[in-house]
Structure 1
Amino acid sequence: MACCRCCCRQREDERAGPHFFKIILSDTLDSGKLGIPRRFLKKYGNHLSSLAFLKVSLGSNWPIELKKCNNGTVWLQKGWREFMEYYSIGHGHLIVFKYEGDSTFRAIIFDKSTSEIDYSSSSGGSNPGPVFRGPTHPRPLTRLELANKFESEHPFFKVVMPPSSMKTSLVKFCFDAFVGSVKGQL
């Protein structure tokens, strides 16, 4: 017996689990907390504990405290700001939350270009693991800081290139400055 499309779609939705998304606005950045939609809370709010876990693509598991208010709102609060900072989440980013049960959400983060972020570059190339990233955790190094740490026994130089220079295969630099900087290395 054939199944109608609406039944099949409903079964697919049930297997996929409940989802909601949030667009990050300035009030979320300023307050350091994110509200969970009331419609989601009506269906699943009773299953949420005071501690939720956000999982990202590389398997990192971030504990985030849930603040339940008397008016029925629930906020991702303690740990949320660190999560945003770690993944460089800013105004206009979009996050899809897939509820997996046991107060665990899979978080899929999209930047302003509507592309999913590169989680490995957000974490400095390493997986943070299931640890809380508090304010005392060192931030990942910038590309320039990483370049400044580079050492070699061979002569080399560094050039800071704006993104626009990546369109060509040529690098312009001052030859006199190059000779002066490697004079002691030759």
Structure 2
Amino acid sequence: MPIRFFKIILKTNLKRLKLPNKFARKYGGGLPNQVFLKPPDGTRWKVCLTKKNGQVWFEKGWKEFTQNYSLDHGFLVLFKYEGTTSSSSSSSHFDVLIIDNTALEIDYPSNNGKNSDDDVSVQILKETKKEKLLPSSSHKNMRGEKNVSAASSLSLNWPKEPRAQEVAKKFVSHNPFFTVLIKPYHLTHHLVTIPSLEGYAGKEVKNVKLENGDRLWPVKMLCCNKSYSSRCLSAGWNSFARETELKPGDVCVFELVNMQDLVFKVHVFASQA
């Protein structure tokens, strides 16, 4: 029978997590030195264990897990452990569910239908002449050269919402860009779905930077599904959204200004509400 337990996340256990004493006493001896955490999005997170005086802690790898899913004070994590079925440590894993401080399970960065209205229809648009929305003469393309003309655009997605479409049509850059209408769950669930960036970034997890004003924010970029048809900005997105005071209804244009370091300049168009 699987063993289940939960832990309430506090500020003090975002870097390492102590497993319940009863669980540690009964099953800690059979745990390998590393296990895997498996959330519903299909990913596997390797976490190393520390055992001391009959106690067991998740340590190396736990911090990265909490950052990726933006765990915070008051979150609840449910664990299910089914034991080790072979000598291989890869068979030792904990299935996990994450409940946020609104008492709802989080929207994991996967295409599981929870945010189906946020799916990004990705298509590469041909370069066309468009009305200039922002002065682009000060923008630099990915070779570091200043743009000398605002006559063409390369958009990586076509948003569904009319206001986002309007911004995307008028925005001009010689760099690739995509457009996102900010919705409430982008701010409460600490992630946002974006295009796949096929041809500009590999399929593995990436560390990107979001630029706004004179600041840069490091953000984790994940693949949202096995087909790699979309990605998600996860850990770090919450800080960016909070510190730039994003609000529902704002439209963000993410302009790829440095492909080597994956730096996106984020242009924010305030909500008209």
Q: TM-score, normalised by structure 2?
A: 0.43
Worse overlay, 84-93 or 114-123? 114-123
Residue of 72, 76, 95 corresponding to 2:77: 95
Question: Please, which runs of 5 or more residues in structure 2 have no aligned partner?
Answer: 85-91, 110-188, 195-203, 208-217, 222-232, 257-266
Q: Which residue of 1 aligns with 2:9?
A: 24
Distance 1:43 1:133, change over 3 A: farther
Q: Which residue of 1 aligns with 2:46?
A: 63
Q: Which residue of 2 aligns with 1:48?
A: 31
SS of structure 2 residue aligned to 1:84: helix
Distance 1:83 1:132, change over 3 A: farther
What pairs with 1:73-112 in structure 2 (closer than 5 Å)? 73-102=55-84, 103-112=92-101
1:147 aligns with 2:243: no
Instruction: Say which structure is richer in helix.
Output: 1
Instruction: Answer yes or no: is the 8 Å Cα contact 2:205–2:220 preserved in 1.
Output: no
* Per-residue Cα deviation, 1:11-42 (whole angstroms, up to 9, x for no partner): xxx3xx1101000112113xx10001111122
Distance 1:95 1:85, change over 3 A: same
Distance 1:95 1:60, change over 3 A: same
Aligned mates of 2:46, 2:206 — CA distance in 1 = 9
Equivalences, count: 133
Instruction: Answer yes or no: is the 8 Å Cα contact 1:93–1:110 preserved in 2.
Output: yes
Aligned mates of 1:44, 1:60 — CA distance in 2 = 24
Aligned mates of 2:3, 2:191 — CA distance in 1 = 27
| Cα drift, residue 159 of structure 1 | 3.1
By relative contact order (CA 8 Å, sep 6+), the higher-ranking structure is: 1
Q: Which residue of 1 aligns with 2:107?
A: 118
* Per-residue Cα deviation, 1:89-118 (whole angstroms, up to 9, x for no partner): 000000000002232100100000110000
Distance 1:55 1:123, change over 3 A: farther
Moved over 6 A (4+): 131-134
Distance 1:82 1:132, change over 3 A: farther
Larger radius of gyration: 1
Distance 1:37 1:132, change over 3 A: farther
Q: TM-score, normalised by structure 1?
A: 0.61
Instruction: Answer yes or no: is the 8 Å Cα contact 1:56–1:107 preserved in 2.
Output: yes
Q: Which residue of 1 aligns with 2:269?
A: 159
Question: Please, which runs of 5 or more residues in structure 1 have no aligned partner?
Answer: 1-13, 152-156, 162-170, 173-186
Identity of matched residues, %: 38
Instruction: Answer yes or no: is the 8 Å Cα contact 2:206–2:220 preserved in 1.
Output: no
